[in-house]
Amino acid sequence: MKKVQVSFLMFIFSLLTLTVYSQQTAEWKGMEDFHAVMSTTFHPSEENNLQPLKEKAGVLLNKAKAWQKSAVPQGYNSSLTKPILKRLVQQCKVIKEAVEKKKPDTELKAMIAEAHEIFHEIKEKCQK
């Protein structure tokens, strides 16, 4: 009987652990879609390759807007996330306008770095 009780308790503990873990790693399609574009624009910029950013600035903005419109999933603090997403959309808009105005690469590099920082602020600070 004692083995059954111990087994039951271990089963309950594993379910609780799984629930907590899944909340901490909540998937968010809008975030993943944005990150797919962010990674292909930011990382090349670290090596002074701004061409991907110039080609995808509009897509980056569209993905940021789509992410902003999507529902904040469980595992994220909505009241913290929404204002930061608003800043991210604004930063992506600034980037797109700067690309259209053919701003210098040094300025574009700083702008995409700022957008990347905002992205990580959401990813790291807004999880519950």
Q: What is the pLDDT of residues 17-33, one digit of tens each?
A: 444 444 455 789 999 99
Give me 51's structure tokens.
Answer: 């061409």
Handedness of CA 94, 100, 102, 106 (dihedral sign): positive
Provide the sign of the torsion angle of the four alpha carbons 100, 104, 105, 111, taken in this order: negative
Domain assignment present for residue 64? The answer is yes
Look at residue 111 and tell me if it is in a domain. yes
pLDDT, averaged in runs of 10, over the chain (128 residues):
55 50 68 97 98 98 97 92 97 98 98 98 87
Q: Does some domain include residue 99?
A: yes
Does a structural domain hold residue 47?
Answer: yes
The tokens describing 19, both together, are 């629930």
pLDDT at residue 5, as a whole number: 58
* Residue 98 near residue 58 (C-beta atoms within 8 A): no
**Does any domain span residue 105?**
yes
Whether residue 1 is contained in a domain is answered as no
Asked whether residue 82 is domain-assigned, the answer is: yes
> Can you give the pTM of this predicted structure?
0.79
Check if the beta carbon of residue 96 is closer than 8 Å to that of residue 61.
Answer: yes
Q: Has residue 70 been placed in a domain? A: yes
Domain that holds residue 39: 27-125
The total of structural domains in the chain comes to 1
